[in-house]
Amino acid sequence: MAVKALIFDIDGTLYPNRAMMIRSSGFFLRHLYLIYHFNIVRKDLRKVGRIEHFEATQAGMLAARMGIHVDDARKLIDGILYKKWERVFRRVKPFPELKKTLQQLADQGLRFGILSDFPIGKKMEYFGLQDLPWEFQFSSRDSGYLKPSIRPFLHCIETMQLQPHEILYVGNSYSYDVVGSRKAGMKTAWLTGSSKGKQADIIFDNYRVFAQKLTTLL
């Protein structure tokens, strides 16, 4: 059956990771200790089943690692890792031809959604993509799970009321995006410079190639 909807990851999928790293270099250096421990916490959270109170659990785990009060950990996450870092994206440009490609696909009747592990905030506005017909913009943490759990993907499927194989998930992480969406029954598109023997329904390194390969699934 033909693909009827596209769901996109954001970070590293709608913009080049290298550009974000360059723009964020000062931020990373200033907050290296926090980012180091937060990354470990996120890896540990991916191993857990459903987390009833995600933000509280995340803050508690970070507080334990850093030896600080949980309220201070929550302030660091919200104020620095979410809000302050988000402002960096005002200077990050999306991939060339991304908006043009998505507009053409929207004109063909394809439905759109967003699923990211991180809060979305104003990123779509910063990238100039806010006017595209997004049906939803979900953060997987809202489901109590992080990718590659199938739960965030199933939430998207239920929201769109489509069969899983009618949805193509587009992401840049094989372990989180491709593996997770495939387990949920979705078609998969992997943005990568080298597939290294791994497989997805579409493998591409720019959005012009993506649009060309997508025609085989429509």
Tens digits of residue pLDDT in 123-133: 999 999 999 99
In the predicted model, what is the mean pLDDT of residues 85-114?
95
Q: Which pLDDT belongs to residue 194?
A: 85
Reduced to 3 states (helix: H, G, I; strand: E, B; else coil), residue 204 is strand
In sequence order, which ranges of the chain are alpha helices (DSSP H)? 17-23, 25-30, 32-45, 54-66, 70-76, 85-86, 98-107, 123-126, 150-160, 179-183, 207-214
Is the model's pLDDT at 1 over the cut of 80?
no
> Could you give the domains of the chain?
5-16+95-217 (3.40.50.1000), 19-89 (no CATH)
Q: Which pLDDT belongs to residue 19?
A: 86
Tens digits of residue pLDDT in 137-170: 999 988 889 999 999 999 999 999 999 999 999 9
Is the model's pLDDT at 86 over the cut of 80?
yes
Cα separation, 204 vs 194, whole angstroms: 9
Average pLDDT, the chain: 95
Q: Check: pTM over 0.85? Answer yes or no.
A: yes
